[in-house]
Structure 1
Amino acid sequence: MIVVTAPTGDIGHQVVESLLEHDTPVRVIVRDPSRLPDILHNKVDVVQGSHADADTVRRAFEGAEAVFWLVPAATKAESVMVAYVDFSRPAAAALKGNGVKRVVGITALGRTTPLADNAGYVTGSLAMDDLIASTGVDFRALTMPSFMDNLLMQAASIKNQGLFFSPISGDLKLPSCATRDITAVASRLLLDASWSGQEEVAILGPENISFNDMAEIISDVLGKPVRFQQISFEAYKARFLQFGFSEAMAQGMTDMADAKNQGLDLGVERTPENTTPTGFRQWCEDVLRPALLG
């Protein structure tokens, strides 16, 4: 049995579908089972509740061999440590209590650089990894840069204004990965019972690319001009506050962007092992263009 957390999110639902393609028994933890696609209800074991709840994770982890761990966005949390570390404490206890053998978790790049000490969400996620590792479970922390798929959150602006935003320099070339490649790596590790120990596994995509590069590619794929606009960190934080984020979590997003702008995601060298296949142009053709046209 493999337990998948956050199964209705972008990565989680892809992991569920991938595991089911391999005829693997899957159990999901979900607050609202009605959000699961109808086709999945008869194919997965459903534990209703939050994976921050001790009783929920105890029931979900019972008899489980492996767990896919992903902390959902807690936009109103009082701090990033509450959002990541405190959220994960019940699961850490349940991992020990139920004898789960392996955990594959979603986290961030940055441990190799001092910038991670004040990188908002990244700092919280790395502290969460330390908590999970302290249980002694065999653990693979999938460390990611920014996701290409995050651009979908600006789909309306791209479609209607030909514009997308970030406080990160438009000329800074950074790694970027597609969620479908994250899914492929996570599923492979969850299905493979041969590995042990604790390691970070970087997922870097095939190339470093800047936002200005992205704008050129998007323009070409969509057949209309799209440009990138750098905004101030103050304006960036204000946008999250407008979206209803708590002060601490809006600051956490801002600190993360600031650290990335200083090179946080450049601390791991690209190798054949951490290079994933989906390039930005391919992602635009396969994901962004259909999303905008749809």
Structure 2
Amino acid sequence: MIVVTTPTGSIGRQVLARLLQAGERVRVIARDPSRLPRETLARIEVVEGSHGEADVVDRAFDGADAVFWLPPPNPHAESLDAVYADFARPACEAFRTHGVGHVVGISALGRGTPMADRAGLVTASLAMDDLIAGTGVNYRALTMPSFMDNLLRQVAPIRDRGEFFSPVPGDRKAPVCATRDIADAAADLLMDRRWSGQGHRAVLGPEDLSQNDMARIMSEMLGKPVVHRPVPIEAFKAQLSAAGLSPAFVEGYAAMMTAKAEGLDNAEPRTPETTTPTTFRQWCADVLRPAVMGRG
């Protein structure tokens, strides 16, 4: 039995689809099971509730061989610990109680870099990894750069004004990956559990790209000029605050982006294992262009 958290999220729903396609027995934890397709519900077990609650994970992990772990976004949290390590504490206890064999989690690049202890959301995510690994469970943290799919938050300015925004300098090259490749890596680890111990596996996409590189590719794929607009970090923080994010989350997000601008995502060596197949050009064709054209 494989337990999937966040089964309606961007990554979790793709992990769930991969596991079902392979014929695995799956149980999900869902706050709102009605968001799952009816045909999916017919093929899975559902534990309703939040995977940050002890009674929920106690029921969900009973008899589980493996768990896909991803804390839900909580941009209104009073602290970053509340988003990551504190949220995971009940699950860590349940891993021990129920003898869960393997856990695959979603985390971030940066461990071992000079910026790791001042990278906001990344720092908090790495602390969560340490907490999970400390239970003794076999654990693999999938460590990520920025997601291609994050650009979907900026569909309107890309469509209407031909521009997108980031506090990362336009010429800073870094890895970028598609969520579908993250889901594939997670599903592979959940199904083939011959690995052991605690460690990480990076998901780096096929190449390093700058914001300007992505603007050029988007222009070609959308058939219209698209430019990257750099945003000063203080203006970026003001935008997040205006959107209603908590002070802790604003500071954490800004610290993460500052660290990325300083090269946080560039420390992990690219290897055949960490290189994943979806190019930014292919992602634009499959995901961004339909969204911009109103077909997503």
The aligned counterpart of 1:179 is 179
Contact 1:84/1:125 (8 A) holds in 2:
yes
Residue 115 of structure 1 pairs with residue 115 of structure 2: yes
For residues 157-188 of structure 1, the C-alpha deviation after alignment (integer angstroms, 9 at most, x for no partner) is 10111110001100000100000101111000
Separation in structure 2 between the aligned mates of residue 129 and residue 168 of structure 1, nearest angstrom: 26
The aligned counterpart of 2:167 is 167
1:83-162 equivalence runs, <5 A: 83-162=83-162
For residues 90-143 of structure 1, the C-alpha deviation after alignment (integer angstroms, 9 at most, x for no partner) is 000000001000000000000020201010110010000000000000011000
- TM-score computed with the length of structure 1 as normaliser: 0.99
Residue 281 of structure 1 pairs with residue 276 of structure 2: no
Residue 14 of structure 1 pairs with residue 24 of structure 2: no
Separation in structure 2 between the aligned mates of residue 182 and residue 138 of structure 1, nearest angstrom: 19
Contact 1:2/1:190 (8 A) holds in 2:
yes
Give 1:179's aligned amino acid: T
Structure 1 stretch displaced more, 100-109 or 33-42: 33-42
- TM-score computed with the length of structure 2 as normaliser: 0.98
Contact 1:221/1:289 (8 A) holds in 2:
yes
The aligned counterpart of 2:226 is 226
Separation in structure 2 between the aligned mates of residue 121 and residue 91 of structure 1, nearest angstrom: 20
Aligned residue for 1:47, secondary structure, equals strand
Separation in structure 2 between the aligned mates of residue 149 and residue 78 of structure 1, nearest angstrom: 26
Separation in structure 2 between the aligned mates of residue 38 and residue 259 of structure 1, nearest angstrom: 42
RMSD, aligned CA: 0.7
Aligned residue for 1:29, secondary structure, equals strand
For residues 39-97 of structure 1, the C-alpha deviation after alignment (integer angstroms, 9 at most, x for no partner) is 21111101000000000000000000000000111111111112101000000000000
Per-residue deviation, 1:193:
2.2
Q: Which runs of no fewer than 5 residues in structure 2 stay unpaired?
A: none
Q: Which runs of no fewer than 5 residues in structure 1 stay unpaired?
A: none
Contact 1:216/1:226 (8 A) holds in 2:
yes
The aligned counterpart of 2:258 is 258
Percent identical:
59
The aligned counterpart of 2:61 is 61
Separation in structure 2 between the aligned mates of residue 251 and residue 53 of structure 1, nearest angstrom: 26
Aligned residue for 2:115, secondary structure, equals helix
Give 2:185's aligned amino acid: V
Contact 1:4/1:26 (8 A) holds in 2:
yes
Give 1:204's aligned amino acid: L
Aligned length: 294
Separation in structure 2 between the aligned mates of residue 212 and residue 258 of structure 1, nearest angstrom: 18
Aligned residue for 1:105, secondary structure, equals strand
Aligned residue for 2:84, secondary structure, equals helix
Give 1:121's aligned amino acid: L
